Copies of this chain bind each other. A is one copy, B any other.
Amino acid sequence: MKWKKVALAMLALACTVSLSACGFHHKTSSSNSNYTTTGGGGRNYQGVIEHGHYKVSKSRGVNVNQNSENQYNLKSFESGLTDVSKRVFSPRTYVFQEGQKLTTATTEDWLGRKSAKNPSGLNPVKGSSSNPNPTYIQQIEEQDYMKQNGSSLSLRGMTIGIGVNSVYYYRKTTNGPQYSRNISDAEVKQQGEQAAAKVLQRMRKKPGCKNIPIVIALYKQAPNDSLVGGNFFEYTRASGNSIGTWHKLSEKTTVMPKSSSTNTENQSNESDSDNFSNFKSQVQSFFPNISGVTAQAKYENGNLAGMHITVTTQFYSETEIQSFSQYIAQAANKYLPNGIPIDIRIQSDSEMQALVFRNSGSNKFQTHVLTSY
């Protein structure tokens, strides 16, 4: 039965041993080197499948707990880290593998405070309970980049993301009120770089990691009340034991419409904001009951680089969803900037009803209504 499954999986993925869009596959006499990939191609990495199963991270799920207060930080950290990796390890020549060197136990130790019991903690001792030292380092993730080596895959590069808090939340007593302390950008950078140097030295000692290029990217976590995640602000590519030059990343994330209640600096420019407002008011007047329209926006070097828009309203019939999607695609075409990826999720209650999107490089919005038979 198990053999049948493996055989089936092999059959499904039986493609040429090349980085083609339909995935690549290798099988030798040793069943240990029996891997395939997920397929993908183009802008995306192929992932590693071993014996028919996806090779999951050795620290799977650690970051979920670390970001329980703001899931946006988790999602944006993980997808942003892949984007940084693409700057160094081309998806056309490297295969992506979830991190295999950092285990759950190690990662949890590193994310803890330094103490006699936990000498490897990257965060400082707590100090006084009325004025505690912040926990700076909030999440760490390893990504492995592989190349084919004979009959198997070899680790040829690694990316490590380190998420640094921009706000430290704490309580003076167990059930007391929550306090927060802002951490300046300079402090975020300094703490991140300090941790990066330690992480690099530790990684170099792990088997297979001595000579590979290791990219370390620093991420500034968004506050807990933010409706968008933080952003990577610099990265370095180390070939030896010491951190190389830090390359600045001019990426910012923001929310539209502008919110006066959040304390994040709003990064959207005036004309993008106006365009979004026009789109929003056009969409909002469609149904008798008002629709909510919000967006996450990403800026690169001061230019709008992508948007995730959510449209919520109370009720739709199938014909209403169909008409609304078409209308939204038309309004998006008219008001939203060209040449950047945009997706628009159309929701009622918490269920997605339709998706309108335009991929990077395309100039036409597609609509997909989630119908049912």
Question: From DSSP, what is the main secondary structure of chain A's interface residues?
Answer: mixed
User: CA A306 – CA B323 in complex, angstroms?
Assistant: 21
Q: How far is the CB of A8 from chain B (nearest CB, A)?
A: 6
A259 interface hit (Cβ, 8 Å): no
A interface residues (Cβ-Cβ under 8 A, vs B): 5, 8-9, 12-13, 22-23, 38-40, 44-47, 49, 52-54, 56-57, 60-61, 63-64, 71-72, 75-76, 78-79, 82, 96, 98, 143, 228-229, 253, 278, 281-282, 285-288, 296-298, 306, 308, 315, 317-320, 322-324, 326-327, 329-331, 333-335, 343, 345, 350-352, 355, 357, 368, 370-373
Q: Which residue of the partner chain B has the closest CB to A22?
A: B330
Among B40, B53, B297, B315, contact of A373 (Cβ-Cβ < 8 Å): B297
User: CA A257 – CA B345 in complex, angstroms?
Assistant: 29
A38 and B327 contacting across the interface, CB-CB below 8 Å: yes
Q: Which residue of the partner chain B has the closest CB to A6?
A: B285
A372 and B287 contacting across the interface, CB-CB below 8 Å: no
User: CA A229 – CA B278 in complex, angstroms?
Assistant: 39
13 of the cross-chain contacts (CB-CB < 8 Å) are A38-B323, A38-B327, A40-B326, A44-B326, A47-B323, A47-B326, A54-B286, A54-B320, A79-B318, A96-B323, A98-B320, A343-B370, A355-B355
